[in-house]
Amino acid sequence: MQDYKYIGHSAERVDGIEKVSGAALYTDDLEFGPDLLYAEIVEGPHAHAMLNSIDTSEAEKVPDVLAVVTGKDFPFNFGLYMKDRYIFAQDRVRFYGEQIAAVVARTPIAAQKAAKLVKVNYTPLPKILDPLTAIQEGADLIHPELKNYDRVPWFFPTPDTNIAHHRKIRKGDVDKGFAEADYVLEDTYEVPRYSHCAIEYHAAVAKFDHSGRLTVWASSQSPHTQRNLFANALAPLGIRHNDVRVIVPHVGGGFGSKAGVTMEIIAAAIAMKVQGHPVKVMWNREREFYNTYQRLGVIAKLKIGVKKDGSITALKHDLYWDAGAYVEYAANVVNAVGLSAIGPYRVENASIDSYCIYTNLPPGGPYRGFGYSEFLFGLESHMDRIAQHLGIDPVEIRRRNAIKEGELTAYGAPMNPNGLLQAIDRVAEEVRWHEKLTSNDPNIAIGKGFSLFWKAPAMPPNASSSCFLKFNEDASINLLVSGMDLGQGFLTVMAQIAAEVLSIPTSKIRTENPDTDRNPYEWQTVASHVTWGCGNAVHKAAIDAREQIFDLIERTKHLPRETLYLEDEMVKCTTDPGFELLLKDFVIYGIQMEDGTFKGGPIIGRGSFMPEFTSTISDPETSQGGHPNVHYTVGAAAAIVEIDKQTGKVRIKKIVEAVDCGKALNPSLVKGQIVGGIMQGISTVLYEEMKFDHRGKMLNPNFTDYKIPTALDVPDEIIPIIIEVPQPDGPFGARGMGEHTMIPVAPMIANAIDNALGLRITSMPITAEKVCLALLKKEKKK
């Protein structure tokens, strides 16, 4: 194995001191001076209604109010993958709490007061709060104009229905596969909506200055995508890409909620109406719940056929997604799952139908895991049930079916190198899978559960990353990238990659969150792709800088370049041990020649990366033929739980999770992702529950009623395991792993509960109440 000096080590975070000292500034911490204006949003109190008229006259009279804006001011639609969204509702509102208008005033109090005086006239329409109702014959259309929306070529709406996209897989012959099966299991699994709950709210400040420049400071995962969407949406007002500048300070958690564009466009648009003033739009905890993206809900009908030995003969997976009122981003979640809902298994005969369905609930969107947590809840529950029926060990059935390198995915492309079997074996060993656990307390049941996981980045085939690397006089470096550090440690890892190539300590590399005017292009920080994609760009930029250094030495010192190498901030030579030249002596100043002239000049590395092998072009009826995903990251996990039979309360004793990240560039950060992701997964299965009333209004948009775990709820033990089967096209073999860590948690806990109590729960969340009631029901039956 190659010895590395900077990567593979648990370097301290480059933003660590800022964060522990309180120096780190987030969007709401920035100061904009006494000229700052505040916007208050007027929200619609209907899940579905025609918007007839808006009377802003009373609101405009409130002292200190500068402007009241409505949909009429911005009759533009926008969206990431499909343009079905509006800055403010136009003629129709589609979810409870949707933004109708905004008041801009000198003080928040004046804005709030005026917002209450905006009078809106509605005609309520029938509302649709679940996906199965939405696809019934004759259901009211939530987006009658669906077929006219601009969209990416890989979306297939069904015109004049509420189906915004339908991804189909047809591989092999499922009928034949089921006919050959010795056992077929069919059931339905339900996973409801969830909220990201980043502790920092969404926040945006925008200023359209008198020179025509639009600057937006936002808490965002996607600065360049925001610039692009702002410029496109506001083009009718004369805005071009180079007029827009997006600056992102520290971000207090994202988990998908701050990807793409949501509330930030409100700030950008209203700034255009109060030229010269910065204007701030702050969300609050309630709006975080009901007017940002939510994780989609799904009803998944799953049918799997197997031989007696457990090998899968056919799989049919029909997924009905509750995608909400606008699906400009959500439809790609549905698409990603459509492509991958066979799970990490070898399945020759597969049929998948993944339906993106409009409902009158808040817009669905990206959430850590991008749909994979949702479908794996059913799939991995199903695998356990099949194993049980056949009398095969749950670990063994997974081993037998696990997909191997070169075997075909659902869309017919070969699987990448992976350590799935290693992960399974290491987890089984660490959790002592074959040891029987018994409880001395008759009131406590103990059980074990296992689950595999996989996930690929879902992104357009031309999603790209780039990097500038510039040396300073002392050979320290400013590394300019536009990936976002949302907490995962991205910036640290980028610094480590450059450090490794250039043999400069990570601590001498400064890299910070971006400003789109200064930092080069990055698509967005989503899909767990930036370590891989942007890491490749940084790797190339560092090599570019290194080659410039070698060029200069070759030219000025007449040493053959193949003998040159970098070590400890110096250029050295394999054939001349006496030759050592400090980088700081020439990376800016150049090298002086005998005649007194200087050669060289500031060294600036440049790297860009695009996955040139991907394509979304395939047969829409089967999805065969393309190469939509760059690669999959895989892994396995197991849990040991104790359940109190009186209360139904689940206590997690131990979790082991192994993830194949190709190469752990920073093991401490990888482990941080594993532990944090597991906790987020536990939260979705045991604690969190969104409640909506019959009007489609969320009833518990706060942390008192929507519980996320505290330090008192942590498992007794979490054991992270790192597997390293290199990704051939990744930087030092690395591939992404940030989202993946939460994906196996829900099914493995459901499996552990079944193992302990003989109780199969097929809907999330699995609260203590649900376990308790199910137990009572089971007892009664006896």
Partner 1 sequence: MKKNVFSLNDEIRSIYINPNETLLEVLRDKLGVKSPKCGCDSGDCGACTVLIDGKSVRSCLILAIEVDGSTISTLEGISKDGLSPLQKAFHEHNVFQCGYCAPGMILSATELLKKNPHPSEHDIKEAIAGNLCRCTGYIPVIEAILDFTKKD
Does position 15 interact with partner 1 (CB under 8 A)? The reply is yes
CB of 704 to ligand FES, least distance (A): 11
Tokens of 57: 């006259």
Identify the burial level of 355 via C-beta atoms within 10 angstroms of its C-beta, where 0-12 means exposed, 13-18 middle and 19 or more buried. buried
Number of helical H runs and strand E runs in the chain:
17, 30
Strands of the 183-191 sheet, one edge to the other: 163-171, 350-358, 312-324, 297-306, 183-191
Residue 172 touches which of ligand FES, partner 1, none (Cβ within 5-8 Å per kind): none
In the bound state with partner 1, the residue whose beta carbon lies nearer, of 70 and 741, is 741
Tokens of 185: 């299991």
CB of 657 to partner 1, least distance (A): 11
Size of the site for partner 1 (CB under 8 A): 55
Residue 13 touches which of ligand FES, partner 1, none (Cβ within 5-8 Å per kind): partner 1
CB-based contacts of 199, cutoff 8 Å, min separation 6: 252, 253
CB of 680 to ligand FES, least distance (A): 11
CB of 676 to partner 1, least distance (A): 4
Residue 235 touches which of ligand FES, partner 1, none (Cβ within 5-8 Å per kind): none
Site string for partner 1, 640-679 (x = CB under 8 A): ----------------------------xx--x--xxxxx
Active-site annotation holder among 594, 739, 769, 779: 739
Burial 219-247 (b: 16+ CB within 10 A, else e): bbbbbbbbbbbbbbbbeeeebeeebbbbb
Rg (CA), the chain: 27
Q: Which of 157, 266, 159, 156 is nearest to 202 (CA)?
A: 266
Does position 714 interact with partner 1 (CB under 8 A)? The reply is yes
**For partner 1, which residue of 1, 2, 3, 21 counts as binding (CB under 8 A)?**
21
Residue 10 touches which of ligand FES, partner 1, none (Cβ within 5-8 Å per kind): partner 1
Strands of the 633-644 sheet, one edge to the other: 444-455, 633-644, 650-660, 718-723
Catalytic site includes residue 739? yes
432 Rama class: left (phi>0) / alpha (psi -120 to 50) / beta: left
**For partner 1, which residue of 252, 343, 607, 628 counts as binding (CB under 8 A)?**
252
Distance CA 121, CA 115 (A): 15
Which residues are 297's β-sheet partners? 322
Does position 26 interact with partner 1 (CB under 8 A)? The reply is yes
CB of 642 to partner 1, least distance (A): 17
In this structure, which amino acid lies at residue 380? E
CB of 536 to partner 1, least distance (A): 23
Residue 353 touches which of partner 1, ligand FES, none (Cβ within 5-8 Å per kind): none
Distance CA 479, CA 541 (A): 9
Give, as ranges, the residues between 239 and 298 that touch ligand FES (CB under 6 A). 253
Does position 250 interact with partner 1 (CB under 8 A)? The reply is yes
Among the listed ranges 226-234, 253-261, 469-477, 502-510, the one in contact with partner 1 (CB under 8 A) is 253-261
Among the listed ranges 78-86, 193-201, 619-627, 686-694, the one in contact with partner 1 (CB under 8 A) is 193-201
Does position 702 interact with partner 1 (CB under 8 A)? The reply is yes
In the bound state with partner 1, the residue whose beta carbon lies nearer, of 98 and 200, is 200
Cβ-contact 636, 420 below 8 angstroms? yes
Residue 20 touches which of partner 1, ligand FES, none (Cβ within 5-8 Å per kind): partner 1
Size of the site for ligand FES (CB under 6 A): 3
In the bound state with partner 1, the residue whose beta carbon lies nearer, of 16 and 75, is 16
CB of 708 to ligand FES, least distance (A): 10
In the bound state with ligand FES, the residue whose beta carbon lies nearer, of 224 and 250, is 250
Dihedral, 286, 291, 295, 298 alpha carbons, nearest 10: 110
Residue 675 touches which of partner 1, ligand FES, none (Cβ within 5-8 Å per kind): partner 1
Phi and psi at residue 475, to the nearest 5°: 65, 15
Assign 394 to helix, strand or coil: helix
Does position 487 interact with ligand FES (CB under 6 A)? The reply is yes
Distance CA 732, CA 358 (A): 42
Does position 19 interact with partner 1 (CB under 8 A)? The reply is yes
Does position 442 interact with partner 1 (CB under 8 A)? The reply is no
CB of 486 to ligand FES, least distance (A): 9
Cβ-contact 389, 185 below 8 angstroms? yes
Site string for ligand FES, 186-215 (x = CB under 6 A): -------------x----------------
Give, as ranges, the residues between 74 and 93 that touch partner 1 (CB under 8 A). none
Does position 672 interact with ligand FES (CB under 6 A)? The reply is no
Residue 710 touches which of ligand FES, partner 1, none (Cβ within 5-8 Å per kind): partner 1
Give, as ranges, the residues between 291 and 310 that touch partner 1 (CB under 8 A). none
Does position 29 interact with partner 1 (CB under 8 A)? The reply is yes
Does position 33 interact with partner 1 (CB under 8 A)? The reply is no
Q: What is the DSSP string of 295-343?
A: BPEEEEEEEEEE-TT--EEEEEEEEEEEEES--TTHHHHHHHHHHHTT-
Cβ-contact 443, 645 below 8 angstroms? yes
Give, as ranges, the residues between 211 and 230 that touch partner 1 (CB under 8 A). none
The DSSP bridge pattern shows strands 278-282 and 37-43 to be parallel
Cβ-contact 170, 351 below 8 angstroms? yes
Distance CA 689, CA 703 (A): 11
Distance CA 649, CA 504 (A): 52
Residues that bind ligand FES (CB under 6 A): 199, 253, 487
Residues that bind partner 1 (CB under 8 A): 10, 12-13, 15-26, 28-29, 31, 196-201, 250-255, 284-285, 486-489, 668-669, 672, 675-680, 702-704, 708-712, 714, 718
- Catalytic residue set: 739
